[in-house]
Structure 1
Amino acid sequence: MKELVRLAATVSGREVAITTIAMYLLQAHDRRLFKNEVGFRSQLVRRVRTLSTTSFSHWSGASDGRERRAIKELEPSGFAVTRFRISLRYCFYEKARQAT
């Protein structure tokens, strides 16, 4: 839940909407890109999470000293993906409600 709050604080609703719409357009354009609906939803959650820098782990490379980064993975279960989507909607709803 903490990650959702950080995501809502660092990413605008417009960016999330554009990314989500783009993913649905991609799916409509070529359904073969995603194995099934769970695969599509997992990729959708991954793309939305990459909008925020808080979803990444950072470290320096051992040999060359360059900064490395990798996305923090969620639980692979479909329940985690669905729970993330519902929580994300709620965070943006609350943020919009507080702004008015």
Structure 2
Amino acid sequence: MDPAKVIGKLKEQVRMEHKSRRNYPEVWHQISDNATNRFYHQNEIDSQLKGQLKLQASIGLLGIQTSYRKLEQSMQYVSPTFSMPGPRITAVPYNIIVIG
């Protein structure tokens, strides 16, 4: 490769790196701004949402006069075969069942 081209590429790389290092504080200064940091700070978020969460974490439990255990049991799935009268369908082998 021509030595003039190599020197030109090196000069261009040095110039671009110098420019990027010179502009680094200007570009990244916005990220360290107090308003931006406050937006992502967990304590700030919690303090703003505390009222809303308290109003919601109470609405769901206001009408419940029973214990938490009864509430938890009411949300469990109970199979319909649990309350069906008579023997279970699976108690008899299928080859004995006559369809028709």
- Give the TM-score normalised by structure 2: 0.21
Larger strand share, 1 or 2 = 1
Q: Which has the higher contact order (CA 8 A, sep 6+)?
A: 1
- Give the TM-score normalised by structure 1: 0.21
- Which has more radius of gyration? 2
